């Protein structure tokens, strides 16, 4: 459901790169079976959504999910205050125009984050919006541990900034070179995970063993991920 947006407000888009609930079209994650793959994708999604929920008074939240997931969304999976917008992830790089017309142009600051990103806390998002709340053109880039771009934020509607982000495995160095110019400020956050393969699954396990992970992953979410770690403990050695 797409709601009318207030002008001059922040917006955060949680972006799926593929169907992740549809039992016929969700991809397998590494050596996980289908049900556990869907569970992992959905928990990464929910964890980001929980962290973003604290921004309700500061930003509109938009979940961009694949059309093929439309009939597979569990009840209460998406909170009522969150906008749900369906896209075609097969042509994800072509989604910019529609999102621009429906959402981007109605907000001063737009932040896009991929579903599989882990480690972005509420406090990081608050600081991110502070960096964008300036008169000059400003860009914030989230750099993953493997030098990919996990999220971006911008206070202008330069199409190049957004269009390239829709490539899910976007190289950080190349992206930075493409968007940097003397007329904008680029701020970089680093140290985040992108959970794409079994190596990343092990990194997720290591990350959740750190006490500071509670800042961006609650006890409840820890328990949900632990269910998977127990099931696949042999793969974590």
Summarize pLDDT for 122-143 with one digit per residue, the tens.
Answer: 999 889 999 998 888 889 999 9
Q: What percent of the chain has a predicted confidence (pLDDT) above 90?
A: 61
Q: Strand 109-114's sheet: what is its strand order? A: 83-87, 59-66, 10-15, 109-114, 149-154, 137-144, 184-194, 117-118
pLDDT attached to residue 182: 60
The pLDDT assigned to 6 comes to 53
Q: CA-CA distance, 181 to 183, in Å (whole number)?
A: 5
pLDDT at position 97 over 90: no
| 103/110 Cα distance (integer angstroms) | 9
pLDDT at 4: 45
Mean pLDDT confidence for 147-162: 86
The burial class, CB within 10 Å (0-12 / 13-18 / 19+), for 106 is middle
In this prediction, residues 32-39 reach a mean pLDDT of: 97
Instruction: Classify domain 10-196 at the CATH class level.
Output: alpha beta
DSSP characters over 142-192: EEETTSBEEEEEESS--HHHHHGGGSTT-BHHHHHHHH--TTEEEEEEEEE
Structure confidence by residue, pLDDT tens digits, 41-76: 999 999 999 999 888 788 999 999 999 999 999 999
Contact 40, 32 (CB under 8 A): yes
pLDDT averaged over every residue in the chain:
88
User: Can you give the pLDDT at residue 26?
Assistant: 97
């Amino acid at each position: 459901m797409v709601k009318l947006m207030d002008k001059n407000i922040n917006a955060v888009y949680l972006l799926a790169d593929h169907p992740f609930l549809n039992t016929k079209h969700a991809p397998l994650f590494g050596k996980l079976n289908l049900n556990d793959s869907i569970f992992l994708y959905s928990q990464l999604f929910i964890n980001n959504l929980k962290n973003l929920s604290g921004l309700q008074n500061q930003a509109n939240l938009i979940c961009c999910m694949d059309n093929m997931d439309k009939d597979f969304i569990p009840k209460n999976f998406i909170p009522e205050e969150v906008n749900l917008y369906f896209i075609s992830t097969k042509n994800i790089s072509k989604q910019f125009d529609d999102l621009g017309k429906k959402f981007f142009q109605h907000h001063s600051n737009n932040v896009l984050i991929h579903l599989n990103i882990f480690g972005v806390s509420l406090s990081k998002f608050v600081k991110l919006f502070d960096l964008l709340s300036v008169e000059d053109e400003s860009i914030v880039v989230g750099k993953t541990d493997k030098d990919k771009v996990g999220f971006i934020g911008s206070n202008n509607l330069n199409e190049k900034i957004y269009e390239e982000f829709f490539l899910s495995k976007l190289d950080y160095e190349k992206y930075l070179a493409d968007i940097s110019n003397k007329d904008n400020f680029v701020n970089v956050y680093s140290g985040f995970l992108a959970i794409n393969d079994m190596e990343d699954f092990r990194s997720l396990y290591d990350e959740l063993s750190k006490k500071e992970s509670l800042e961006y992953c609650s006890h409840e979410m820890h328990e949900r991920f632990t269910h998977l770690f127990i099931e696949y403990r042999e793969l974590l050695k």
